[in-house]
Amino acid sequence: MPKLPNPAHNAYVDDVYSVIRHVLHAIGEIDYQHAADIHNIDKNSSDEAIKRYVKQRIRSAYQTRRQAYIDLLQTLRVHQQP
């Protein structure tokens, strides 16, 4: 005989998926902003040394911001598995 769905479990799963969607959206926003920042540096700066320095700072900040969301996704994935 098949098990009946547990409404509490389904609500939890829906909440987890909602958080995952939110986190993925945040990562997309971070990625978009990073690409725009790099594009602006390439477009507006003429000094290559300054450009490299600023791009490195932008990439470092980008990786730090993004990693927190990646870690959260990993945690959600682990907790979401049966």
Number of domains observed in the structure of the chain: 1
The pLDDT, as a whole number, for residue 23 is: 94
Q: How far apart are CA 12 and CA 75, in angstroms?
A: 15
Under 8 Å between Cβ of 26 and 69:
yes
Residue 13 forms part of a structural domain: no
Please identify which residue in the block is written with the tokens 């959206």.
25
| 45 SS3 class | coil
Parent domain of 54: 19-80
**Which residue did the predictor score with more confidence, 46 or 28?**
28
Residue 63 forms part of a structural domain: yes
Q: Is the pLDDT of residue 9 over 70?
A: no
* Average pLDDT estimate for 35-55: 92
Using N-to-C axis directions, what is the helix angle for 7-44 and 48-80, rounded to 10°? 170
